[in-house]
Amino acid sequence: MADNPKTVLVVDDDPDARDFLTTVLTDNGFGVTTAKDGNEAIARIEQAKPDLVALDITMPEKSGVAVYRKLKEDDQLKTIPVIIITGVSDDFKRFISTRRQVPPPEGYISKPVDHEQFLSMVTDLLA
């Protein structure tokens, strides 16, 4: 893992939230890229395919939902596991219930994030 660390793309509009997850991941040997909105997230994914995406749902510009849809509808990208991270549980339920053709995300964590839970979820998904 040290030679070729797995990379996680952290997508959140709140810089504190990005810093938090970035630090947790780098402390544990993961490579991290960040994006502050949906557009930036898509640009990052197109630049270099990450191994996992930690995705906030409620963001300005392009929402997390649109990023998720793009990921799961693209044959090249749909195998990338996604952990949805959001403070709005209702949004998440609505998001899942209205998108039957899109598979559910691999993980879901609500804010405030428990870093140990987040870390074990990332580790499991990338094992």
Partner 1 sequence: MRSEALRLDNLPDFAMENAYYRYFDAMPCYLTVQDRDFRIIDANQRFREDFGETENRFCYQVYKRRSEKCEVCPVERAFWDGHSHRNEERVTCPDGKEVSVLVEATPIRDQSGEIVAVIEMSTDVTQLKSLHKQLRRSQRRYRLLFDEVPCYISIQDPDLCIVEANRAFQEDFGSCLGRKCYEAYKHRTEPCAPCLVQETFEDGEFRTREEVVTSLSGETIHVLVTAAPIRNGQGQIIRVMEMSANITQVRELESRLTSLGLLIGSVSHGLKGMLNGLAGGMYLVDTGFKKDDPQRVRKGWDTVQRNVGRIQSMVSDILYYAKDRIPNWEPLSAIEVAEEVCNLTESRANNHHVQLTTALDPSAGQFEADAQAVRSMLVNLIENSLDACRLDDKKSDHRVTLRLQGLPDHVKFEIEDNGIGMDQETREKAFSLFFSSKGTEGTGLGLFISDRIARSHGGSIDLQSEAGVGTRFIVQLPRKRPLQQEPRDPHPSERETPDGRQSEDRSGSR
Taking the least distance from each CB to partner 1, the nearer of 36 and 72 is: 36
> Should residue 110 be labelled a site residue for partner 1 when binding is judged by CB under 8 A?
yes
Taking a C-beta distance cutoff of 8 angstroms, is the pair 67, 77 a contact?
A: no
Taking the least distance from each CB to partner 1, the nearer of 31 and 87 is: 87
Sheet strands (E) in the chain: 7-11, 31-35, 52-56, 82-86, 107-110
In the block, tokens 């693209």 appear at 74
Site for partner 1 in 35-94 (CB under 8 A): 36, 56, 58-60, 87-88, 90
In the block, tokens 């053709």 appear at 101
Residues that bind partner 1 (CB under 8 A): 12-17, 19-21, 23-24, 27, 36, 56, 58-60, 87-88, 90, 110-115
